[in-house]
Structure 1
Amino acid sequence: MTESPDAEISACDAAVTLAFSVLGKRWNGMILSSLGAGATTFVGLRRAVSGISDAVLSDRLAELATTGLTVRTVDAGPPVSVSYDLTDAGRRVLPVLDQLGAWARENLAPAER
């Protein structure tokens, strides 16, 4: 009896699965990458991440804060201002995103417009 070709394929590492559950979600990598330049406001992020709606940006920022990658800071003002920044864990993912971008530039065809 011969084994099927799939018999040698191992299950995906749980940590990789967890990482892609966050980083693989549309917009999250772009938000994190944009915050790599430093803290910014909601409007600043909306400008940096072209094409994202306010509702989706708000949802993604809440998710990224829940995962411990970003932090939301409210300055009582006046005027009241809110900014978003990376946590230490968020900053540690930046080199990974940079490497992923370099890999994409070298190995993937640019998206046609």
Structure 2
Amino acid sequence: MRAATDLFTHTWDPVVLAALRAGPRRRRELRAAIGGISDKVLTDSLRRLLANGLVERHAHAEAYALTSLGQSLVEGPMTALGRWVKEHGDALLEARESSNASGL
């Protein structure tokens, strides 16, 4: 379980994975698709994802793409988590607001 949760420790890593879901993208295309990510943070994220075998770099096209392992993560747990957030997001926000209002 720790190995799985470590994949979501860095805020931008799942965002980069989701941006690659549509297919290979060049670095500037990734930054444009994501928005709000600095070049340094994108570099760090890509390095982590490459090291974990979730992304591969196509040198000839200078593009990044999901590996089959990355694709299985995006289409499996990340998609399920997205469905969960759609279903329970309002309750999650309400609980957060209630907690903030009570000073916790």
TM-score bracket relative to the smaller structure: 0.7 to 0.9
Q: Taking structure 1 as the reference length, what is the TM-score of the superposition?
A: 0.74
Q: How many residues align?
A: 91
Runs of 4+ in 1 over 6 A off after TM superposition: none
| Whole-angstrom distance in 1 between the partners of 2:73 and 2:37 | 21
| 1:99 maps onto 2:80 in alignment | yes
Normalized per residue, the structure richer in helix is: 2
| Whole-angstrom distance in 2 between the partners of 1:30 and 1:56 | 12
Q: Deviations over 1:71-113 (max 9, x none)?
A: 01111xxxxx4100011100111121111111111111397xx
Question: Root-mean-square deviation (CA), in Å?
Answer: 1.6
Question: Partner of 2:39 in structure 1?
Answer: 54
Gaps of 5+ in 1: 1-15, 76-80
Structure with bigger gyration radius? 1
| 1:45 maps onto 2:25 in alignment | no
Q: Taking structure 2 as the reference length, what is the TM-score of the superposition?
A: 0.80
| Whole-angstrom distance in 1 between the partners of 2:24 and 2:37 | 18
Identity of paired residues, percent? 32
